[in-house]
């Protein structure tokens, strides 16, 4: 039987990073993954350029950028391994990168550069990697070590690190395996649901807007009541089935079934004043004046909804103009659902942080660790989830007992 100091299940961002650091600390490490390719989520992220961290992350106030039943849980790991630490590693490997906006950092060339960096870090630590190699069963032996039955035989490790990710994007190998291991060893789970995901609407109710598919524009979007209200100023994208784009992906993590969302489709414009001014000086159709304030296709779709708006702006009653301004700046609608895990970038919920150490990511079950997306810690769009992968992996790798 093969013996290791640590067995890591999952060759994604968190698993590879943890393995590399642990190996460089002198541990004998094995990484197992049922997929043939490593770090597929890194490869497809950020349009193939991997939005690998965010400079704006505030480790002292994680609730600003992370969702969790206990949003303060991630503070310890994030403050001990920061975006600056990971940036320094990227620079050491000579990977060129740039900031897009709002602190988001991307590889200049390709996400593949980042994946190769992770693999080089593993090589530097003498990490063994078995892929593709499925895991059939996990158990704890009498001496406290973990035995893992794999397609290439049984291995033993004094520590077992679960870095299996969540349920999002099943076509690249996502599964509930990490949650099953947690349940097997008596750990609690926070209910999972898709996060950073497009929102959908019923076909009939969405019909007036289906023709806007492909249109993008900056909006302010919010959901929740006075106590739970959350909002973002980001770009919106209309789709055939509903709404997507960064604004919707962000709000989707806070949206709950049957709750409305509210949109300001012209957040930088005072619409009542702009429309009043147009009425005073113009003889054009209202739709033509509106097209100076919002995209033309949007203007056309909007005026179709009320006959009072389908006339020259000078002839539109003040009340009708006020109604139009209100509808564009406070468009309230209720999604019927989401595009699900198939399109979700992350999984909300996961292994309950009450059963994990915020310092080491070790669970109440001695020698069993959980890192990355499998844990109930979910970041905003924009590199926050990758930083949680790096920080949680680092905290775990530093805590693994040396021989």
pLDDT above 90 (res 205): no
Helices 111-124 and 83-92: crossing angle in degrees, nearest 10, is 90
Mean pLDDT rounded to a whole number for the chain: 96
pLDDT above 90 (res 204): no
pLDDT above 90 (res 79): yes
pTM given for the model: 0.95
Q: How many residues does the chain have?
A: 403
Question: CA 379 to CA 383: how far, in whole Å?
Answer: 8
| pLDDT grade for 78, boundaries at 50, 70 and 90 | very high
pLDDT above 90 (res 63): no
Per-residue pLDDT tens over the stretch 84-140? 999 999 999 999 999 998 999 999 999 999 999 999 999 999 999 999 999 999 999
pLDDT above 90 (res 254): yes
pLDDT above 90 (res 212): yes
Question: CA 294 to CA 69: how far, in whole Å?
Answer: 39
Per-residue pLDDT tens over the stretch 161-182? 999 999 999 999 999 999 999 9
| pLDDT grade for 260, boundaries at 50, 70 and 90 | very high
Report the candidate in 34, 19, 72 with the shortest Cα–Cα distance to residue 376: 72
CA distances from 22 to 19, 50, 124, 350 (A): 5, 24, 10, 24
The domains located in the chain, with CATH, are 2-193+346-399 (3.50.50.60)
Q: In a 10 Å sphere around its CB, with 0-12 CB exposed, 13-18 middle and 19+ buried, how is residue 166 labelled?
A: buried
pLDDT above 90 (res 403): no
CA distances from 169 to 98, 125, 174, 354, 381 (A): 26, 30, 6, 27, 16
Per-residue pLDDT tens over the stretch 295-328? 999 999 999 999 999 999 999 999 999 999 999 9
Question: CA 332 to CA 52: how far, in whole Å?
Answer: 34
């Amino acid at each position: 039987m093969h013996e290791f100091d640590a067995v890591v299940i999952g060759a994604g961002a968190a698993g590879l990073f943890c393995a590399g650091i642990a190996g460089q600390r002198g541990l004998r490490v094995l990484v197992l993954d049922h997929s043939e390719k490593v770090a597929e989520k890194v490869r497809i992220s950020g349009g193939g350029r991997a939005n690998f961290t965010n400079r704006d992350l505030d480790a002292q106030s994680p609730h600003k950028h992370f969702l969790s039943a206990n949003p303060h849980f991630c503070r310890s790991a994030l403050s001990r391994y920061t975006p600056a630490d990971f940036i320094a590693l990227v620079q050491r490997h000579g990977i060129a990168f740039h900031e897009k906006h709002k602190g988001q950092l991307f590889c200049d060339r390709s996400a593949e550069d980042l994946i190769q960096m992770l693999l080089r870090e593993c090589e530097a630590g003498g990490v063994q990697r078995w892929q593709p190699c499925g895991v059939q069963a996990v158990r704890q032996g009498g001496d406290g070590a973990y035995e893992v039955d794999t397609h290439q035989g049984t291995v033993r490790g004094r520590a077992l690190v679960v870095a299996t990710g969540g349920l999002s994007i099943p076509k690249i190998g996502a599964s509930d395996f990490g949650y099953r291991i947690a349940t097997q060893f008596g750990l609690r789970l926070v209910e999972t649901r898709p996060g950073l995901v497009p929102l959908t609407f019923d076909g009939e109710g969405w019909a007036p807007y289906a023709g806007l598919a492909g249109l993008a524009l900056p909006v302010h979007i919010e959901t929740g009541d006075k106590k739970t209200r959350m909002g973002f100023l980001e770009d919106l994208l209309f789709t055939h089935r509903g709404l997507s784009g960064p604004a919707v992906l962000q709000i989707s993590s806070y949206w709950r079934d049957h709750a409305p969302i509210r949109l300001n489709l012209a957040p930088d414009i005072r619409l009542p004043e702009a429309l009043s001014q147009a009425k005073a000086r113009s003889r054009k159709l209202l739709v033509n004046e509106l097209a100076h304030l919002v995209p033309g296709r949007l203007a056309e779709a909007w005026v179709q909804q009320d006959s009072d708006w389908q006339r020259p702006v000078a002839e539109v009653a003040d009340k009708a103009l006020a109604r139009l301004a209100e509808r564009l700046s406070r468009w309230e609608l209720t999604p019927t659902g989401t595009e699900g895990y198939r399109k979700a970038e992350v999984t909300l919920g996961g292994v309950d942080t009450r059963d994990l150490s915020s310092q080491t990511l070790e669970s109440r079950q001695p020698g069993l660790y959980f890192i990355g997306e499998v844990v109930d810690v979910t970041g905003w769009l924009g590199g926050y989830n990758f930083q949680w992968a790096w920080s949680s992996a680092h905290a775990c790798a530093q805590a693994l007992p040396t021989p």
